[in-house]
Amino acid sequence: MDEKLARKLRVLADAAKYDASCASSGAPKRKAEKGGLGSTTGAGICHAYTPDGRCVSLLKILLTNYCLYDCAYCVNRRSSNVERARFTVDEVVSLTVNFYKRNYIEGLFLSSGIVRTPDHTMELLIEVAKKLRREHGFRGYIHLKTIPEASPWLVEQAGIWADRLSINVELPTPGSLKMLAPEKNAATIRGAMGQMRERIDEAKEEKRRFSPAGQSTQMIVGADDTRDADVLKTSASLYDGFRLKRVYYSAFSPIPEASAVLPLKAPPLRRENRLYQADWLFRYYGFAVEEIVAGGEGGMLDLSIDPKLAWALKHRERFPVDVNRADREMLLRVPGLGTRAVDKIIRARRHATLRLDDLARLTPGLKRARPFLVVPDHRPTRLLDRADLKARLVPQPTQMELFA
């Protein structure tokens, strides 16, 4: 690869790395056409992990980091002195194809700073996707960032080529957005998300292809002072209103060329982690957002323990749970038991009465679950009444655990 292209790649990968939404999941399974290139597997594949523990799945780059907008949290805002670069459409296409052929990536996640106009920028993004599909018969994964200020017909075009579309809401409240991203507007963003949702739903119903892996979004946490309760309420309403596949939470992290209006401190990684756990709880574990938030104090989640444990400690009267009798809903509320373990328990107990040994084989989380469970050979006498239960269950402070 020649040096000029390598420089662009360095600058434009660096500029894109703050977007967490790099999953390659959700596309219908496809194979390459005879003589063609590319497939999708459904669940997606992480082709590498960087030392921050994040998955490298798609080639995640900006078409350009020149940008006319001035979003305070962003390294690429027009008032930043960061090094700039601009790919041509063909350079992105060729990089994608060549990386893909070597099995480095699942596909492309393309975004861009705003150059000339939102429409012009959006047209360039679409052009890349179209070339990949048309000229290279590329059947791998394509995720395009949609620019909400672009004309609505361009969203319709983008959905033809992309597997996933996304627009970042960026900040949890319209007020914060107005303050930190003066060119953006919460209503415009939600309008475009609504348009995408309608088209995606209609296409699914009519068995046509339009952004088949749906849409996702990202919210930055820690750049403004929104409480967890409001962050979670916002995401619940986004899941609901726009049928998002995922809301990504991104801990605001120090950037080079930072703006004077933002705090430069270590990214709140633990908070980000707790938000993901909470997100899981209301999507897959039957918790209401209010219940989850009530596990913490003052609208913030407890950082020292996961939100499920926090809820359980505040609702000790609901425990211990009889593993051999409790319904699925209640089993899902036991700290340490995941959805998979719960399903296995329910299947196994139809055939045998489960004892402690059995449980150890059904879940890797028995140690955490024990104080909350009853089986014939184990009853947590008075453990639940102990004032120091929380202290006993808080994980030893080791390195930060994080979702990949």
Partner 1 sequence: MRRVRLSPGADLDGFRHSVRGLVAEGVPPDEAVFEAGEEAGLFGAPASEEEAPTLSLPRAVADLVRLVVCHADPERYALIYRLVWRVTHGERRLLEVGSDPLVHRLERMAKGVRRDIHKMHAFLRFREAERVGERERFVAWFEPEHHILEAAAPFFRDRFSGFDWSIHTPEASAHWNGERLIVGPGGRPEDAPDVDGFEEGWATYYASTFNPARANTRAMLNEMPKKYWRNMPETSLIPSMLAAAPQRVAAMVAAQPAEPRKRPPTRALRAMTDQEPKTLEDLNRIILASEPLVPGATRAVLGEGRIGSELAFVGEQPGDQEDIEGRPFVGPAGKLLTRALDDAGIPRAEAYVTNAVKHFKFEQRGKRRIHKKPTAGEVKHYRWWLMKELDLVHPRLTIALGATAALALAGKTVSVTKVRGPMGYVGLDGKERQGFVTVHPSFLLRLPDEAAKRREYDAFVADLHAAHELARDLAA
206/200 Cα distance (integer angstroms) = 10
| Category of 336 on φ-ψ map: left (φ > 0), alpha (ψ -120 to 50) or beta | left
Structure tokens at 192: 């475009």
Site for partner 1 in 95-114 (CB under 8 A): 95, 98-99, 101-104, 114
367 binds partner 1 (CB under 8 A): no
67 binds ligand SF4 (CB under 6 A): yes
Smallest distance, ligand SF4 to C-beta of residue 198, A: 25
Q: Which of residues 17, 86, 270, 390 is near partner 1 by CB under 8 A?
A: 17
Residues in contact with ligand SF4, counted by CB under 6 A, come to a total of: 9
271 binds partner 1 (CB under 8 A): no
* Peptide bond preceding 395 in cis form (omega within 30 of 0): no
**Dihedral sign (CA 185, 189, 194, 199):** positive
Structure tokens at 84: 């700039």
69 binds ligand SF4 (CB under 6 A): yes
381 versus 399: smaller Cβ distance to partner 1: 399
Smallest distance, partner 1 to C-beta of residue 293, A: 26
380/371 Cα distance (integer angstroms) = 5
Smallest distance, partner 1 to C-beta of residue 90, A: 15
Smallest distance, ligand SF4 to C-beta of residue 70, A: 6
Site for ligand SF4 in 71-100 (CB under 6 A): 71, 74, 76-77
339 binds partner 1 (CB under 8 A): no
45 binds partner 1 (CB under 8 A): yes
215/146 Cα distance (integer angstroms) = 10
CB atoms within 10 A of CB 84: 16
Taking alpha carbons only, the member of 135, 156, 137, 169 closest to residue 211 is 156
Site for partner 1 in 313-332 (CB under 8 A): none
Site for partner 1 in 205-244 (CB under 8 A): 205-206, 208, 210
60 binds partner 1 (CB under 8 A): yes
Smallest distance, partner 1 to C-beta of residue 149, A: 8
Site for partner 1 in 151-190 (CB under 8 A): 151-153, 156-157, 160
- Residues whose CB falls within 8 Å of the CB of residue 10, separated by 6 or more in sequence, listed in order: none
35/64 Cα distance (integer angstroms) = 32
Concatenated DSSP letters of 196-234: HHHHHHHHHHTT--SSTT-EEEEEEESSS---HHHHHHH
Q: Which does 83 bind (CB under 5 to 8 A by kind): partner 1, ligand SF4, none?
A: none
- Calculate the alpha carbon distances from 180 to 72, 187, 265 in Å: 5, 15, 17
Q: Which does 76 bind (CB under 5 to 8 A by kind): partner 1, ligand SF4, none?
A: ligand SF4
290 versus 401: smaller Cβ distance to partner 1: 401
Burial 308-340 (b: 16+ CB within 10 A, else e): bbbbbbeeeeebbbebbebeeeebbbbbbbbee
Taking alpha carbons only, the member of 371, 377, 335 closest to residue 356 is 377
Q: Which of residues 16, 221, 231, 393 is near partner 1 by CB under 8 A?
A: 16
For 340, the 3-state DSSP assignment is: helix
79 versus 339: smaller Cβ distance to ligand SF4: 79
Site for partner 1 in 380-399 (CB under 8 A): 399
86 versus 243: smaller Cβ distance to ligand SF4: 86
222 binds ligand SF4 (CB under 6 A): no
261 versus 288: smaller Cβ distance to partner 1: 261
47 versus 86: smaller Cβ distance to partner 1: 47
Q: Which of residues 359, 369, 389, 393 is near partner 1 by CB under 8 A?
A: 359
Site for ligand SF4 in 163-192 (CB under 6 A): 181
**Residue showing tokens 């060329």:** 257
Taking alpha carbons only, the member of 356, 306, 350, 312 closest to residue 330 is 312
What residue ranges bind ligand SF4 (CB under 6 A)? 67, 69, 71, 74, 76-77, 113-114, 181
